[in-house]
Amino acid sequence: MREGKAPVVVTHVWYRVGAIDEESGQSGLAHMLEHMMFQGTATVPPGEFSRLIARNGGDDNASTSHDFTNYHINLGADRLDLAMGLEADRMRKLVLADEEFQSENLVVREERRSRVEAKPDARMLERYRAVAHGRHPYGRPVIGWMDDIERHSVAALEAFYRRHYAPNNAVLVVVGDLDLDGATALVEKHFGPLTSPGAIQRRAPPAADPITTPLHFQVSDPEAKLPFWQVGYRVPTLADAAAGEDPLVLDVLSSLLTGGLSSRLHKRLVVTDRLAVAVDADYAALARHDTLFGIAVTHAADVQPRRVERAVLEELDRLAREPVGERELQKVKNGLVAGAVFERDSVDSLAWTIGRAVTSGVPWRSVLVEYPARVRAVSAGDVQRVAAKYFQPKARVVGLLATADDQGTGAAAGGEAKP
C-alpha cells in the first residue's frame, strides 16, 4: 500500500502460525521460534540482523499471537531492498544453533516472569483464559507455561520451522512511501527464488465444550493489593461467516460499555457507585476462532467483590432488555469511526490491521475500507439482540483475584480451577 506522507516504509512478514498450532506439552514453541528468528542464518551471523537494521537507521521487532507470528522492520523509504532481503533470507535459511537456543530460552523465561509471573492481574488472567476456553488452544498462554518453555528443544523448533515457515504460509505487507512497481520487483527478486514445500496443513484445533452452566473461580494472591475481577463470554469474530455483522455489533457494545469516560460501565462503576478505579472491555474482532468478550474491573479500595459483580451483570442485562438511546448509539459509532481515521495516521498500524485481517482469514478491505460504513449500519435493535444472544447468564465465566485479606468474600463457588 502506498501511503506517502512520511519518507518511511514498514515491512511486515506475517506467518499463519501461532500458539494454536503447537502440540500439547510444547506451549510457547511458536513464540520461542520468533525469538530464534533473530539468531542467525547461513548468511547472517547471530546478532547481525538487528545490527544491520540499526546501521541503516531502522527499528525491528516481532510478536506472536495464537493465530499469527509477525516480523516487522521500519526503515527509511529507500531501504526496502534491505528489509526484504533479510526477511526472505530468514524465511527458509534459519540456523538453529544450540548455543544461541540455550541463552535465548533463558531470555524467554525472564520474559515470562516479567509479563506474567510478577504481575498478579496477569497471573489471574492466564488462568482465566485456560478456564474460559476449555480444550481450545486459545486457552493456552502464547508465551507458554514455564515447564513447557523449559522443555523446548532445537529439534522441536527445527520441526516447527520446517513445517510452517515458507512463502505459501506467509503474507508480506509493505506500507509506506513506495513505488508499487519497484516494490513488486523487489518482492520477485527476494521471495521469488524461494521454494515452498507442499501445501501446509493446519490441523483444526479441538472445539471448546460449550459452556452451559456459569463457571466461577477465585485465586487469592499475597502480592495483590486490590481485587481484580473479570467476566467473559465466548463470542464469534469476523472470521465466522455465520456470525454475519455480530462482530461489528460486539465492537459497538465494547465501546458502549467502556469506551471513554462517558461509557456506561465507567459511569456506573467508577463515577456513580464508586466501586472501581478502572473498567475495561476486551474484544478482538480479528481472530480465526471464537474468542472472549471480557470485562475486567480493578476494584476501588475496600469494596466487596460481590457488589462489583452485581453492578456489571445488571448493566449487561439492561442492554438485553432496553434499546440503547439514539444519541448514545450515535456517540459510540462516532468514536469508532474517528478511531479508524486516527489509526490511518500511522503506516505501522495500517500494516497491522491488514496483516491481522489476512491472518484471521478476513479480507482486509472489509475491515480497513468498509469498517466505517458497517459500524454506521448497526441499529439499536442489533445491539439489544446481540447482547441477549451472547451475554447469557448460563454462559458466563467469572474470575476473581482476591487480596490476601479478602479471601472468601468473593463470588467464587467452585474453588480454584486448574489451568
Partner 1 sequence: MLLGLLWPLVASVQGAERYPVERFVTGNGMTVLLVENHANPMVEVRLLIRAGSVLDPPDRGGVASLAAWMFNEGAGDLDAAAFQELLDFHGIELSAAVDRESFGVDLTTLTESLDEAFRLLGLALQAPRFDGEPFQRAIDEHRARLEKDQEKPDVRASQALYREVFRGHPYARPVDPTAESLPNLTAADLAAFRARYFRAPDMVLAVAGDLTLERLRTLVETHLGGLDARPAHRLALPEADPRPPAPRLHIPMTINQTTIRLGRVGISRQDPDYYVLTVLNHILGGGFASRLYEEIREKQGLAYSVYSHFSPLAARGPLVVGMRTKNSSVEQALELLRRELARIAADGVTEQELQDARLYLTGSFPLRLDGLDKLAATWAAIAFHDRGWDYLERWPERIQAVTRDDLSRTARRLLQPDGFSVVTAGGEESATP
**SS3 call for 100:** helix
Q: Cβ-count burial of 139 within 10 angstroms (0-12 exposed, 13-18 middle, 19+ buried)?
A: buried
Give the nearest distance from C-beta 384 to partner 1 in angstroms.
21
Nearer to partner 1, 41 or 291 (CB): 41
Nearer to partner 1, 122 or 313 (CB): 122
C-alpha cell at 1: 500500500
Active site residue 34: yes
Window 214-233: contact mask with partner 1 (x via CB under 8 A) = --------xxxxx-------
- Could you give the CA distance from residue 122 to residue 186 in angstroms, rounded to a whole number? 42
Query: What are the φ and ψ backbone dihedral angles of 38, each rounded to 5 degrees?
Result: -100, 5
Rule CB under 8 A: is residue 280 a binding residue for partner 1?
A: no
Give the nearest distance from C-beta 105 to partner 1 in angstroms.
7
The alpha carbon of residue 390 and the mean position of all alpha carbons in its chain are separated, in whole angstroms, by: 20
Site for partner 1 in 97-116 (CB under 8 A): 102-111, 113-114
Site for partner 1 in 335-364 (CB under 8 A): 335, 337-339, 341-342, 344-347
Nearer to partner 1, 26 or 255 (CB): 255
Give the nearest distance from C-beta 133 to partner 1 in angstroms.
25
What amino acid occupies position 333?
Answer: K
Q: Which residues contact 35 (CB under 8 A, 6 or more apart)?
A: 104, 107, 108
- Pick from 62, 159, 200, 277: which binds partner 1 (CB under 8 A)? 277
Nearer to partner 1, 114 or 366 (CB): 114
Give the nearest distance from C-beta 118 to partner 1 in angstroms.
4
- Could you give the CA distance from residue 271 to residue 176 in angstroms, rounded to a whole number? 43
Site for partner 1 in 359-418 (CB under 8 A): none
Nearer to partner 1, 56 or 304 (CB): 56
- Cβ–Cβ < 8 Å for 351, 367: no
Strands in 236-368 per DSSP E: 276-282, 291-299
C-alpha cell at 62: 516481532
Interface with partner 1 by CB under 8 A: which range of 165-173, 185-193, 238-246, 297-305?
A: 297-305
Give the nearest distance from C-beta 74 to partner 1 in angstroms.
5
**SS3 call for 134:** coil
Q: Which residues of 70-94 are buried (b: 16+ CB within 10 A; e: fewer)?
A: bbbbbbbeebbebbbbbbbbbbbeb
Site for partner 1 in 39-58 (CB under 8 A): 46-47, 50-51, 54-58
Site for partner 1 in 112-171 (CB under 8 A): 113-114, 117-121, 146
- Pick from 12, 331, 356, 396: which binds partner 1 (CB under 8 A)? 331
Annotated catalytic residue within 3, 22, 23, 34: 34
- Cβ–Cβ < 8 Å for 20, 137: yes
- Pick from 11, 65, 69, 263: which binds partner 1 (CB under 8 A)? 263
Give the nearest distance from C-beta 337 to partner 1 in angstroms.
7
- Pick from 180, 185, 271, 369: which binds partner 1 (CB under 8 A)? 271
C-alpha distances (whole Å) from 292 to each of 134, 232, 270, 281, 283 are: 12, 6, 23, 10, 7
Nearer to partner 1, 103 or 168 (CB): 103
Number of residues that bind partner 1 (CB under 8 A): 72
- Could you give the CA distance from residue 396 to residue 7 in angstroms, rounded to a whole number? 48
Site for partner 1 in 57-76 (CB under 8 A): 57-60, 74-76
Alpha-carbon dihedral sign for residues 266, 268, 274, 280? negative
Site for partner 1 in 170-209 (CB under 8 A): none
Nearer to partner 1, 5 or 321 (CB): 5
Note every long-range contact of 116-121, with CB atoms under 8 Å and residues 24 or more positions apart, other chains counting: 116/141, 116/143, 117/146, 120/221, 120/223, 120/224, 120/228, 120/401, 121/224, 121/228, 121/296, 121/298, 121/401
Give the nearest distance from C-beta 28 to partner 1 in angstroms.
14
- Cβ–Cβ < 8 Å for 221, 125: no
Give the nearest distance from C-beta 168 to partner 1 in angstroms.
30
Nearer to partner 1, 6 or 180 (CB): 6
Q: Which residue numbers are catalytic?
A: 34
